[in-house]
Amino acid sequence: MVVGDFPEEVDTLVIGSGPGGYVAAIRAAQLGQKVTIVEKGNMGGVCLNVGCIPSKALIEAGHRYHDASNSEDMGISVGEVKLDFTKVQEWKASVVNKLTGGVEGLLKGNKVDIVRGEAYFVDNSTVKIMDDKSSQTYKFKNCIVATGSSPIELPNFKFKEGKVVSSTGALALEEVPEKLLVIGGGYIGVELGSAYANLGSEVTILEGTKSILPTFEKQMSQLVAKRLKKAGVTIETEAFAQEMEETENGVKVTAEVKGEKKEYEANVLLVTVGRRPNTSELGLEQAGVEMNDKGFIQIDKQCRTSESNIYAIGDIVAGPALAHKASYEAKVAAEAISGEASEIDYTAIPEVVFSGPELASVGLNEEKAKEQGYDYVASKFPFQANGRALSLNESEGFLKMITRKEDGLVLGVQIAGKNASDMISEACVAIEAGMTAEDIALTIHAHPSLGEITMETAEVALGMPIHIVK
């Protein structure tokens, strides 16, 4: 990086290269903007490096190891199944490297200039970008801030490599812990807890509410809890960790569980109690960008902040911290800068947990449909009545469809079961396109497939199910 008295001039500056930032840069370039993207760490942000991608790789390794050891009911018996966790981590890293390298290639292929360093706002049209050796001032016409989020650290449970870890540290462990204690039963705690349970850890999850995965319907989270307990995971609800002391082999944690004091010992403590927006060290105040008391940036329907030429997307704005939400907002912001009438609409944004079984939800559930005053119908179809689910030995679960009573308009879909993360896409299209249950029921689905469950549920909504008795 060259130090100069004269600032570099850029049209659109993107800060951060995660699934929000790199998508914004590419879409802006496709629309004719001259784009520069700045990244202080690894290309791909949290999602590709220490989040979505490596966690799913670890989860899949856990499934493979568990299935190899537990397929006797299908008539498959194997000898001793061995786990080489070093190779698991190497394979996980290879997946990450392919994707992060791919992101850099996509940016260069779209003629996006890549700058390495940390950005700090000087005013509403100027940033200073610094690395270890030098700094350079950049003037921009428009800027998209996409700096993501970081794990929340609890005062009494400071992160310490190898003993007290965030999700980032949990993905980088050198060996599978004999005992893993998880504080937080949300989607990160459940996903990583179940992955390590499948890999052989003795796992305990402490959750402060009355159930794990509290943002999902009770029937859905209960299925996951049942599967976790079957895998030997201990789940403590209404549990509040209070203090910790280090031991020779790990940590000892004192918690209050339903009013009773309990102690837990583990080799590794994983703290997953949420994430905070990365906005405190950007100098946003210098630029006049308004934030709330939790550090989230206020935006309008086009992702524009209080400064009309500065946009914000992803985990630093309100809403769930989802990579696909960030990518969606990225396109809206890039298109808004180009003068298009794009606006954010979160109606059809899905939420997914890669648990066992997987959970996925989009649109309204029953509770939200009631709150919004809809006269609705809730229709359900079980996985156990689907041939493909039975042949996969994955008969646990259901699909629920919420439709408007007057015309069958699809308002929401909740899925608990095998490949829910893939199945939810059809529901997203249905809601986005304003489809009815009849539209889905009249669509021919391949047989045998899990996708048929969506069609069958639509037929339940119409009062004419074929494969269950009404």
* Fold topology of 164-273: FAD/NAD(P)-binding domain (3.50.50)
* 390's tokens: 């039975």
Q: How far apart are CA 409 and CA 96, in angstroms?
A: 40
Residue list for the binding site for NAD(+): 184-191, 207, 274
Position 4 pLDDT exceeds 70: no
Q: Domain spanning 8-151+276-346: which CATH class is it, in words?
A: alpha beta
**Pairing outcome for strands 398-404 and 410-416:** antiparallel
Q: What is the pLDDT of residues 13-45, one digit of tens each?
A: 999 999 999 999 999 999 999 999 999 999 999
Question: pLDDT tens digits, residue range 72-125?
Answer: 888 998 888 999 999 999 999 999 999 999 999 999 999 999 999 999 999 999
Task: Name every residue whose Cβ is closer than 8 Å to that of residue 465 and which is 6 or more positions away in sequence.
Answer: 381, 456, 459
Stated pTM of the model:
0.95
Which among 116, 191, 148, 166 is positioned nearest to 45, based on CA atoms?
148
Which positions make up the binding site? Answer: 56, 147-149, 184-191, 207, 274, 315
pLDDT, mean of residues 340-355: 97
- Residues with active-site annotation: 447
Identical fold for domains 164-273 and 357-461, yes or no, is no
pLDDT for 1: 45
Distance CA 104, CA 68 (A): 36
| pLDDT, tens only, 218-246 | 999 999 999 999 999 999 999 999 999 99
| Binding site members for FAD | 56, 147-149, 315
Domain boundaries, the chain: 8-151+276-346, 164-273, 357-461
Instruction: Name the helix (H) or strand (E) containing 22.
Output: helix 21-30
Identify the band that residue 5 occupies on the pLDDT scale cut at 50, 70 and 90.
low
Q: Using the predicted structure, report yes or no on whether residue 190 has a pLDDT greater than 80.
A: yes
Task: Kindly tell me the sign of the dihedral angle through the C-alpha atoms of 44, 300, 272, 427.
Answer: negative
Over the range 180-212, which residues count as b (16 or more CB within 10 Å of their CB) and which as e?
A: bbbbbbbbbbbbbbbbbbbbbbbbbbbbbeebb
d(CA 20, CA 15): 10
State in words which class domain 357-461 has.
alpha beta
Residue 2 has pLDDT above 50, yes or no: no
Q: How many CB atoms lie within 10 A of CB 89?
A: 19
Which pLDDT belongs to residue 161? 86
Across 6-19, average pLDDT:
93
Of 5-14, 178-187, 281-290, the least confident? 5-14
The DSSP call for residue 163 is: T
